[in-house]
Amino acid sequence: MKRIAIFASGSGSNFQAIVDACQEGLLDAEPALLICDKPGAYAIERAERAGIPAVAFVPREYPNKAAYENAVLQQLQVHRIDFIVLAGYMRLIGPTLLSAYKGRIVNIHPSLLPAFPGLDAIGQALEYGVKVTGITIHFVDEGMDTGPIIAQVPIEVAAGDTRESLQKKIHDIEHIFYPKTLHQLFSIKGEKITR
């Protein structure tokens, strides 16, 4: 069973969906650690309620990205983490973690990549006027939302959709599809999981 660290920056709704799926036997993994870059994030409270160790880092307290990621890496090693799952983590992963976890970092993004990478993908989709957006689960590489795509789900943008209504649609799908895709990824038999 894979020991996973979930990285989150905010409320942690995808973190909760992954934890729930593990507890219900829908995802064959052990959520062994939450890494958060915002000490006041609600995700930390969720982790505490679930009995999952949570470590919060303040990036600006480190002299550079490498020092920050080395501190994170130390926690990943202490908790014997096999795989990193990004769930609303709002920082680019740098060379330190990419090197240590090559091919073992997965992210979810609220658009059909390569469309609308980066911040505010939902706002970008609404502004552009697309009729279909969606979610993408992908491996993480050096770029911003440029890693190899694992799975995608299209979501219709209705005429009256607002940022809030579209965000709810996307979250509802994410909470089902992310754990399901992770389960399929971790269940690959006899094959090393790589990009």
Q: How many CB atoms lie within 10 A of CB 127?
A: 11
The residue from 79, 109, 138, 171 that is catalytic is 109
Q: Tokens for 90?
A: 């709002």
35's tokens: 């890494």
Q: Rounded to whole angstroms, how far apart are CA atoms 150 and 139?
A: 7
Q: How far apart are CA 37 and CA 115, in angstroms?
A: 26
Tokens of 99: 């090197």
| Contact present, 150 and 182 (Cβ < 8 Å) | no
Task: For residue 79, indicate whether it is catalytic.
Answer: no
* 13 closest CA partner among 182, 167, 185, 186: 167
d(CA 46, CA 16) in angstroms, rounded, equals: 7
Strands (E), the chain: 2-8, 29-36, 54-56, 83-86, 105-109, 132-139, 149-156
Within a 10 A sphere around the Cβ of 165, how many other Cβ atoms? 12
Catalytic annotation, residues: 109
